[in-house]
A and B are shown apart, each in its own frame.
Chain A
Amino acid sequence: MDFNDTPEEAAFRAEARAWLEANAPKDQSVPATEAEALKRAKAWQAKRAGAGFAKITWPKEFGGRAGTPIQQVIYNQEEGKFNVPGGFFDIGLGMCIPTLMTYGKPEDLKRYVGPALRGEEIWCQLFSEPSAGSDVAGLRTKAEKDGDDWVINGQKVWTSGAHYSDFGILLTRTNPDVPKHKGLTMFYIDMKAPGVTVKPIKQINGGANFNEVFFNDLRIPDSQRLGAVGDGWKVALTTLMHERLAVGGGAGARGPDAREILELARATELEDGPAIRNAAVREKIADIYVRTQGLKYTTYRTMTALSRGQQPGPEASIGKIVSAPKLQEVSGYGMDLQGEAGVLMTGEGSEFQQSYMWAPGLRIAGGTDEILKNIIAERVLGLPGDIRVDKDLPFKDAPKGR
């Protein structure tokens, strides 16, 4: 056992490091607006793509370097030390474009992959609906055939980045007369086309990272269909598989952790002395710390499998189910330590309050805690799926709420 790179990995790490040192943006100021952040991110993405570091495992014909998954992990680790701009391209490059690569026509790939990789065009994923969240196959957005075109009507929700996206992949219902999974069809659409309206959703933390997207007689040609008519669920599973890798990989929960609680405990006075001398506080720090470290070493196990050219084991799936509830617990505990001042959203230590208001969303986005537990139970442990009372009913007859 050791934590060392193989000679090949070390060489790649050195190459990535050297390139990052020479090229990572020097400007470390916080962008004043989202538009400014987007501008910086696009410039960095173009540079990264030009050097073949944007998507390391992609084939060379698509601008990748036909590298290995462990090289991608190594690059991510090195880039993580440089505070580069980002966050706008992950869904497009992590989920939408891979779906296009599986189901798109050669001319689609020629047209869309390059601009997406270079950050010139941004993609979003249009799956969730007001009445279809965890059970996304219950969606109601209609696509109706009209000559060689399809006409789309309905509404999506929780669409990250829809307001700055150029394109999106869209899951629709094309046949309500068959059971829900069988009547779906996937398309890609131009987000700027007439008939598409994007409205930001204000969240409980005051931010607006997500959108509602409305379709009013959006007309698209049949050539924008991905996969066969009625095969949309199969296509969506390809996308969601990539989502689990992207969001569920464990990196999701950025925010205060054991280290920050430790620092806060050293800096904060309780009635009888510094919080760090209090036995209850110390127990809590230890509890948090072992979960953080356990996740970190689980990632090392995954990396080891990748380094050996093997598939990671099922333990790779535990990231978000540990990190999201932990973020909620840690941020709430940090506020408890601050006592009455814990309510303050500004000033020193307010990262706990910021995370506290964000954590409920993290426990839902990209698969709720409950769905993730179902996935572990069914795919890792081999337990039976839930009974589905709507399984054999035509979608139009299936029980529905509001």
Chain B
Amino acid sequence: MNFDFSDDQKALREQASRFLRDRCPPKAVRRILEGGDVFDRDLWKGVVEMGWTATAIPEEYGGLGLGYLELCVIAEELGRAVAPIPFASSVYLATEAILLAGSEEQKQKYLPRLAAGEIIGTFANAEGANAPSPRTIKTTFKAGKIDGTKTPVADGLAADFAVVLVRTGDSGERALSLAIVDLTGAGVTRTALKTVDPTRGQAEIAFAGAPAELLGAQGEGWALTGQIFDRAAIMLAFEQVGGSDACLAMAKDYALGRYAFGRQIASYQAIKHKLADMYVNTEIARSNAYYGAWALSTNAPELAEAAAGARISAIAAYDYASKENIQTHGGMGFTWELDCQLFFRRAKNDALSIGPARVWKEKLVTQLERKNAA
């Protein structure tokens, strides 16, 4: 049994942790929260210099050719630091989309520049509150041009290009395709949106005849989106586990230092049991995320099931930890001044990006039925 990260991977996590403690303290996150910029450009530059954007890209496309296990340990630390950069959009989604579905020419064109951090990518899926599906997607791709509006698009202002889920057919699962579009080119209008987590910016993107090309075969868009989201879900789960862990550390620290009725609040069972629950949830989520990391790194047939399990459990752990961290802090936890809000905002942001828990629970049970029938 070898169900843990290697010493090298743990050293990489330690290095990532040191780097982020230095370059991404809460002060840096708050600068973006308070409207200082769309994302933290200095941090992004540093992350690129560390080679993190190149981690899982093969060497032939200018990457480091490391594996997904390396990317997972970095993700955990980015989550712990609530890093205000478009890493998830560009690395877990756009890069993965091109690795998975790109033609040789598209890989040559995009991957070296993604690895070098010269361009930032994102994935444009949602069109308002209706659940994206072959029934609801309205944005069209015809004769090399996209028309329609995607909203919200994570890192829509930061990104240079987007992979867009578009309609190319009338109905059914094969009605959708993926297309790549240059967001800095003609026919693209981007508007910043006010969101619960300004440290991960969102935009509305209106396409009016924006030039684009297909990514993957026509009619494969819905299936590809599922596969890309499965892969992203696992890395995002590590970010969520890192965030949950940070909430627990913060709550513990506060509870040890705060006195009420003549004793540390950490000595009351109401607080102790809350923190024990945070710990248990986080470890369950971590173990599920590990299984996801294994499935991702070996491209196992269990990948879809593992991704759903990792995501459902990570959403639950971070949701609980971020809320109960505020509760443990009492009134102070509700102030703008304290950093509880950073995790509270990010937990909800992460829980909704690439689809809420409900969608992943449905995905999981579909996988279980399939396995059971086989």
Taking Cβ atoms with an 8 Å cutoff, the residues of A that contact B are 1-5, 9, 70, 258, 262, 266, 276, 279, 282-283, 285-287, 289-291, 293-298, 300-301, 303-305, 307-308, 315, 318, 321-322, 370, 372-374, 376-378, 380-387
B297 within 8 Å of A by Cβ?
Answer: yes
CA distance A294 to B365 in the complex (A): 16
The answer, among B287, B293, B372, for a CB contact under 8 Å with A300, is B287
CA distance A282 to B372 in the complex (A): 15
A295/B3 in contact, CB under 8 A: no
A-B pair count, CB < 8 Å, reads 160
B312/A287 in contact, CB under 8 A: yes
Assess A283 versus B361: contact at CB under 8 Å? Given A1-B69, A383-B275: yes
User: For B280, B285, B362, B364, which residue has the most chain A Cβ atoms within 10 angstroms?
Assistant: B280
Within 8 A of A (CB), among B284-316: 284-288, 290-291, 293-294, 297-298, 308-309, 312-313, 316
A2/B2 in contact, CB under 8 A: yes
Chain B minimum-CB-distance residue to A369: B273
Question: Chain A contacts of B360 at CB under 8 A?
Answer: 286
Please name 20 pairs of A and B residues whose Cβ atoms are closer than 8 Å in the assembled complex, sorted by A. A1-B4, A4-B1, A289-B309, A290-B288, A290-B309, A294-B313, A295-B284, A300-B1, A300-B290, A301-B290, A303-B1, A308-B4, A315-B286, A318-B280, A321-B276, A370-B273, A380-B279, A383-B252, A386-B267, A386-B269
B27 within 8 Å of A by Cβ?
Answer: no
CA distance A293 to B283 in the complex (A): 12
A262/B3 in contact, CB under 8 A: no
A286/B308 in contact, CB under 8 A: yes
B287/A1 in contact, CB under 8 A: no
CA distance A298 to B313 in the complex (A): 13
Within 8 A of A (CB), among B85-141: none
B272/A378 in contact, CB under 8 A: yes
Tell me how far the C-beta of A381 lies from the nearest C-beta in chain B, rounded to whole angstroms: 6
CA distance A183 to B155 in the complex (A): 66
Within 8 A of A (CB), among B246-294: 248, 252, 255-256, 263-264, 266-267, 269, 271-273, 275-277, 279-280, 283-288, 290-291, 293-294
Question: Chain B contacts of A258 at CB under 8 A?
Answer: 368
A315/B272 in contact, CB under 8 A: no
Assess A377 versus B3: contact at CB under 8 Å? Given A286-B361, A384-B266: no
A377/B364 in contact, CB under 8 A: no
Chain B minimum-CB-distance residue to A73: B1
Question: Chain B contacts of A382 at CB under 8 A?
Answer: 252
CA distance A296 to B365 in the complex (A): 18
The answer, among B255, B285, B298, B316, for a CB contact under 8 Å with A383, is B255
1/0 per residue B228-260: CB within 8 Å of A?
000000000000000000001000100110000
Assess A294 versus B285: contact at CB under 8 Å? Given A301-B3, A373-B277, A383-B267: yes
B19 within 8 Å of A by Cβ?
Answer: no
Q: How large is the interface on B (under 10, 10 to 19, 20 to 34, 35 or more residues)?
A: 35 or more
B4/A304 in contact, CB under 8 A: yes
Question: Chain B contacts of A318 at CB under 8 A?
Answer: 279-280, 283-284
B358 within 8 Å of A by Cβ?
Answer: yes
Question: Chain B contacts of A374 at CB under 8 A?
Answer: 269, 272-273, 276
User: For A286, A289, A295, A382, which residue has the most chain B Cβ atoms within 10 angstroms?
Assistant: A286
The answer, among B3, B358, B362, for a CB contact under 8 Å with A297, is B3
Question: Chain B contacts of A373 at CB under 8 A?
Answer: 269, 272-273, 276-277
A285/B313 in contact, CB under 8 A: no
B2/A4 in contact, CB under 8 A: yes
CA distance A317 to B297 in the complex (A): 28
B288/A293 in contact, CB under 8 A: yes
A381/B364 in contact, CB under 8 A: no
Tell me how far the C-beta of A346 lies from the nearest C-beta in chain B, rounded to whole angstroms: 27
Within 8 A of A (CB), among B51-78: 69
CA distance A47 to B336 in the complex (A): 68
Assess A377 versus B276: contact at CB under 8 Å? Given A304-B2, A383-B255: yes
CA distance A242 to B116 in the complex (A): 54
B280/A376 in contact, CB under 8 A: yes
Question: Chain B contacts of A305 at CB under 8 A?
Answer: 4
B309/A298 in contact, CB under 8 A: no
User: For B316, B362, B365, which residue has the most chain A Cβ atoms within 10 angstroms?
Assistant: B365
B264/A384 in contact, CB under 8 A: yes
CA distance A5 to B1 in the complex (A): 5
Chain B minimum-CB-distance residue to A258: B368
A294/B279 in contact, CB under 8 A: no
A298/B1 in contact, CB under 8 A: no
A279/B267 in contact, CB under 8 A: no
A1/B361 in contact, CB under 8 A: no
The answer, among A266, A286, A298, A307, for a CB contact under 8 Å with B283, is A298
What are the 10 closest A-B residue pairs judged by CB atoms, nearest first? A294-B284, A286-B361, A377-B272, A297-B287, A373-B276, A300-B3, A376-B276, A384-B267, A298-B287, A303-B1
Question: Chain A contacts of B248 at CB under 8 A?
Answer: 381
B2/A1 in contact, CB under 8 A: yes
B2/A262 in contact, CB under 8 A: no
Within 8 A of A (CB), among B21-64: none
Question: Chain A contacts of B284 at CB under 8 A?
Answer: 290-291, 294-295, 298, 318, 322
Tell me how far the C-beta of B269 lies from the nearest C-beta in chain A, rounded to whole angstroms: 7
Chain B minimum-CB-distance residue to A303: B1
B4/A315 in contact, CB under 8 A: no
Tell me how far the C-beta of B351 lies from the nearest C-beta in chain A, rounded to whole angstroms: 14
Q: Please give 8 more A-B residue pairs, beta carbons under 8 A apart, in addition to A282-B361, A370-B269.
A: A1-B290, A262-B372, A286-B360, A294-B284, A294-B287, A300-B1, A300-B290, A318-B279
Tell me how far the C-beta of A284 lies from the nearest C-beta in chain B, rounded to whole angstroms: 9
1/0 per residue B311-340: CB within 8 Å of A?
011001000000000000000000000000
Question: Chain A contacts of B361 at CB under 8 A?
Answer: 282-283, 286-287
The answer, among B267, B277, B288, for a CB contact under 8 Å with A385, is B267
Tell me how far the C-beta of B179 lies from the nearest C-beta in chain A, rounded to whole angstroms: 32
A301/B69 in contact, CB under 8 A: no
B8 within 8 Å of A by Cβ?
Answer: no
The answer, among A297, A304, A370, A378, for a CB contact under 8 Å with B288, is A297
Tell me how far the C-beta of A202 lies from the nearest C-beta in chain B, rounded to whole angstroms: 32
B1/A304 in contact, CB under 8 A: yes
User: For A290, A296, A318, A386, which residue has the most chain B Cβ atoms within 10 angstroms?
Assistant: A290
Question: Chain A contacts of B170 at CB under 8 A?
Answer: none
B369/A276 in contact, CB under 8 A: yes
Chain A minimum-CB-distance residue to B264: A384
Within 8 A of A (CB), among B197-232: none
